[in-house]
Structure 1
Amino acid sequence: MKIAIVGYGKMGKIIADIAEKRGHEIVARLTETPTKENLNNPDVAIEFTNPEVAFNNIKSCLENKVPVICGTTGWLDQKPEIEKIASENNTAFLYGSNFSLGVNLFFALNEKLSDLMKNFKEYHVQLEEIHHTHKKDAPSGTAISLAEGIIKNDQRFDAWKLDETKENQLGIVAIREDEVPGTHSVFYRSEVDEIEIKHTAFSRDGFALGAVIAAEWIQGKTGNFSMKDVLGL
């Protein structure tokens, strides 16, 4: 494939390296807004930037008929509009709050556990995420996905919130520490015990590989997708 990297920071460079090792060609390494000219006619664009510019980056790619794999979090209030643009332009859009294979299995495990625990009201639910100090959004997109998986199954909650769980709001504690790729934990605590599931990333390589695999998968497709579609979960 010919791939445009939109956002050539730490993640963009790892993605480019992995993509080239898998036989793909990087035709653009962008640190500015993509245009028809600087995209250089790719088969797909992989977008990892920041919440302030993600919407315009994705919109520009889609309007130029370029499928987009997006791993930027913190802008999801505009996601329905992006999905509409993808459909109108007969192209494809895939958003992942986390592209790691392990995390996507963790999402499925989280939903299974929340379904098991929904009737045991003596257990208090809490989420925690730890990331590097350079991460601009809090809570992480991965933590939000975990919260949404719990809310879907547990009628005690109708929304998530940053900080401790309170009444019908499922809490997410966000911690920032130096050079932590990402750790996510879900706790079920009672007065007598605790159940915990946890995912710890050792590097960014797993996220980058998943994004490239998603880019390979989306070829020839139209519509809006997620990593569940890619992995058949």
Structure 2
Amino acid sequence: MKIALIGYGKMGKAIEAIATAKGHEIIHRVDISSQHLLEKEHLQQADVAIEFTGPETAYNNILKCFEANVPVVCGSTGWLEKLSDVQALCQEKKQAFLYASNFSVGVNIFFEVNKRLAELMGNQPQYDVWMEEIHHTQKKDAPSGTAITLAEQVLEKVQRKKDWVNTGDAPEEQLSIISRRIDPAPGTHTITYTSAIDDISITHTAHSREGFASGAVIAAEWIKGKQGVFSMKDVLSL
């Protein structure tokens, strides 16, 4: 499989290492200094594009992949106010698009555990709920995209919480997300339900970027040749 790698930071390089070890070919690499080289004729040579940049560039990068008729797997966060537009455009142009706030197989299983626990706790008003996420200091967004996904899952089931806020000091009706930036942490997410009697917590701790990178390559392998809007739930049959 021929891959266009859009974003060549630490994550991009981890993806490259795993993809090449699996026999895939990285035919195009774009980093911050070469963003202007993201041209249709280069993208068209790829079977799939993997996009890991940032909120300033992700949207336009995805549109360029659509123009080149190349399936795109996107892991950039901080741009999701435009996600519905991208999904609609993907369907209109009969392209293929897969977005995930986190590509780790373990995290996506953790999402399903989080939803089930939130469902069980929805009718237990004696429990408050809050979240903590820890990442390395180079992470640009806070809270993380993974934390936002987890929070939205909780809000859907625990309706006594109306929205989430990125602070440790939140009113009772808001879900508190505490964001910490500590090196070299690649990512830890904890959801805690607390009462006067006991606490219930679930935690996912990443030991390296390898899980995220491996999941992105699995997603790229899966989306090749497909049309439509997908998620890691589709890839992993969750």
- Note whether the superposition's TM-score is higher than 0.5: yes
What residue in structure 2 maps to residue 190 of structure 1? 195
Is the 2:126–2:195 contact (alpha carbons within 8 Å) kept by the matching residues of 1? yes
Give the deviation of 1:167 after TM superposition: 3.2
Is the 2:44–2:69 contact (alpha carbons within 8 Å) kept by the matching residues of 1? no
- The yes-or-no answer on 1:36 pairing with 2:62 is no
What's the TM-score, normalizing by structure 1? 0.97
* Aligned mate of 1:161, from 165, 189, 193: 165
What residue in structure 2 maps to residue 72 of structure 1? 76
What residue in structure 1 maps to residue 225 of structure 2? 220
> Residue type matched to 1:81 in 2?
D
Is the 2:44–2:68 contact (alpha carbons within 8 Å) kept by the matching residues of 1? no
Deviations 1:23-61 (A, max 9, x none): 111110111152113325101000011111111111111
Is the 1:128–1:173 contact (alpha carbons within 8 Å) kept by the matching residues of 2? yes
> Residue type matched to 1:46 in 2?
I
* Aligned mate of 1:178, from 183, 192, 196: 183
What residue in structure 2 maps to residue 120 of structure 1? 124
SS at match of 1:163: coil
Deviations 1:200-225 (A, max 9, x none): 00000000000000001112211111
What residue in structure 1 maps to residue 15 of structure 2? 15
More divergent stretch after superposition (128-137 vs 36-45): 36-45
2:55 and 2:185 map into 1 onto residues whose CA distance is 20
What residue in structure 2 maps to residue 201 of structure 1? 206
Is the 2:193–2:201 contact (alpha carbons within 8 Å) kept by the matching residues of 1? yes
Deviations 1:145-164 (A, max 9, x none): 10111111111123222113
SS at match of 2:16: helix
Gaps of 5+ in 1: none
Give the deviation of 1:65 after TM superposition: 0.9
1:41 and 1:188 map into 2 onto residues whose CA distance is 49
* Aligned mate of 1:210, from 205, 208, 215: 215
Structure 1 stretches of 4+ moved >4 Å: none
Gaps of 5+ in 2: none
* Aligned mate of 1:93, from 97, 111, 119: 97
SS at match of 2:181: strand
> Residue type matched to 2:142 in 1?
A
Identity of aligned residues (%): 57
What's the TM-score, normalizing by structure 2? 0.95
2:42 and 2:136 map into 1 onto residues whose CA distance is 31
- Cα RMSD (Å): 1.1
